[in-house]
Structures are given as C-alpha cells and as structure tokens.
Amino acid sequence: MVHSLQPSIYDSVIYFHGSTQPPRCQPWSEFMAHPSDDDRLANLLGAVALGLFDTVGDIASANDLDITAMAALVSLADLARSTSVQGLSQLIGISHSGTVRLINRLVEAGLVERQPGPDARTLAVALTRRGRSAAARLRTSRRTAIVATLSGMSAQQRDQLADTCEQLIVNLTSARLATRRAGGQPSGGALCRLCDPNSCGRPMGRCPAARTAAQALG
C-alpha cells in the first residue's frame, strides 16, 4: 500500500530527488511517537551537519575538486604552509599513499609544488601562487554559503549560536583527543582543516579547539 506524504514533506522530496511519484513510506501514524528533547535536538543537529557538509562538497565540486583536496589546499594556506607528506596526511585524515596520490593530482593541476624539506630525506609540500588563490576562493565560498544559512536569525540568536558552537567544538576536540590517547586516529583529520584561523581568533588564543588541545596537552 502506498501512503501519500503530507504536501510539505512531499514537496521537499520532489525538490531533493526530482521524483514525480509519491515515494513509498510508512503511514504517518507510525511516526507519531513523542521523541525526547535530546532525540529531537540530535536529529536537528545531525540534519544541519549533513546539510553543511553537502554544501561544502558542492563548493569543492564547483572548483573541480573533492572535499579532501579542498581541505588540503585550505590547510596548506595557513595551518601548514609547508609541510611533509606525513604532516598533510594527518591534517586531512587520509592514508600516506592516498596523500601521495592527492599531491600528485594537485601538482599536475599546478596548485601545489614539492620543495626540499628540513633535511635531505624529506620533501615539503607547499601551495603555488595558483594554489593560494584557489584556497582563498574556496574559503570565501565556504564562508558565504554558511553565512547564508543564518538568514533570518537576529544578532542575539547568532551570538547564542556562536556560544553553542564553541562548546560543541570543545566537546568534539576532547573526544578526538581521547581517541588519540586510546591509540586511535580520529576520522577526517584535523577539525580545523577548512577553517580560517583569523576568523576563529586563533592568533589571539580564542580558537576553542586550540585552547582545548593546549589545556589537555599542557
């Protein structure tokens, strides 16, 4: 039996999937359980996180990159302006061999170059002029897209959201540090791999991730 979705939900399904037929779904009566506040908040936050991830992925695709290559360029612009393959691998969260293949592609695209490392046994990876321009463009596009999602929010709501995000970053950083202490490797690489350090106040000691890591390691 096919159960029609409520119009607003059906419209959103058509928008996202281009469907011309109502999708098969469970009757609405089966979704009428009352979730806890935490259940609802977790679901909302998960949807926001996924939507923002997709938005950043679209920015990467529009620049003929994947999100990992985008992270590499942005990371090399500030977090590690000249780093080893291993250093970049840790920043972007992929294997050493995967990082080598990524660097090869970025070198071919004229976005990065290999330079002599601090000793004769290593090579450093750095952005070219074209790579620096690309990183700046990617970061600006990311900021513009994310700010657009704040449309309709008052200044007070934005301040409250900033405070909430700071606490979430503290919690995420603490969880990643705990994973490392247990001998694991957090997925995805550095939490700040797509960040603008100046915007988060890192040079002034205001970055919640950097502060949390410094407190835990110091």
Q: Are residues 139 and 75 in the same domain?
A: yes
Pick 80 or 2 by higher pLDDT.
80
Inside any domain, residue 93: yes
Q: Where a domain ends, among 149, 167, 201?
A: 149
Inside any domain, residue 50: no
Rounded CA-CA distance 174/115 in Å is: 34
Inside any domain, residue 4: yes
The model's confidence at residue 188, banded by pLDDT at 50, 70 and 90, is confident
Q: Are residues 161 and 201 in the same domain?
A: yes
Which range marks the domain in which residue 169 is found?
154-218
Among the ranges given (40-49, 146-155, 156-165, 195-204), the one the predictor scored with the smallest mean pLDDT: 195-204
> In a 3-state reduction of DSSP, which class is residue 176?
helix
Inside any domain, residue 57: no
Helix (H) or strand (E) holding 3: none
Q: Are residues 68 and 137 in the same domain?
A: yes
Among residues 198, 216, 208, 212, the alpha carbon closest in space to that of 164 is found at: 208
- Give residue-wise pLDDT tens across range 4-17: 444 454 445 444 55
Inside any domain, residue 56: no
Mean pLDDT across the stretch 177-195? 89
CA-to-CA dists, residue 154 to 52, 148, 150, 161, 167, angstroms: 20, 13, 9, 10, 20
Rounded CA-CA distance 134/142 in Å is: 12
- Give residue-wise pLDDT tens across range 18-59: 555 555 655 555 555 677 889 999 999 999 999 999 999 999
Among residues 197, 218, 191, 217, the alpha carbon closest in space to that of 93 is found at: 191
So what's the pLDDT on residue 203? 84
pTM: 0.81
So what's the pLDDT on residue 35? 76
Inside any domain, residue 11: yes
Q: Where a domain ends, among 130, 149, 168?
A: 149
Q: Where a domain ends, among 149, 176, 208?
A: 149
Number of domains observed in the structure of the chain: 3
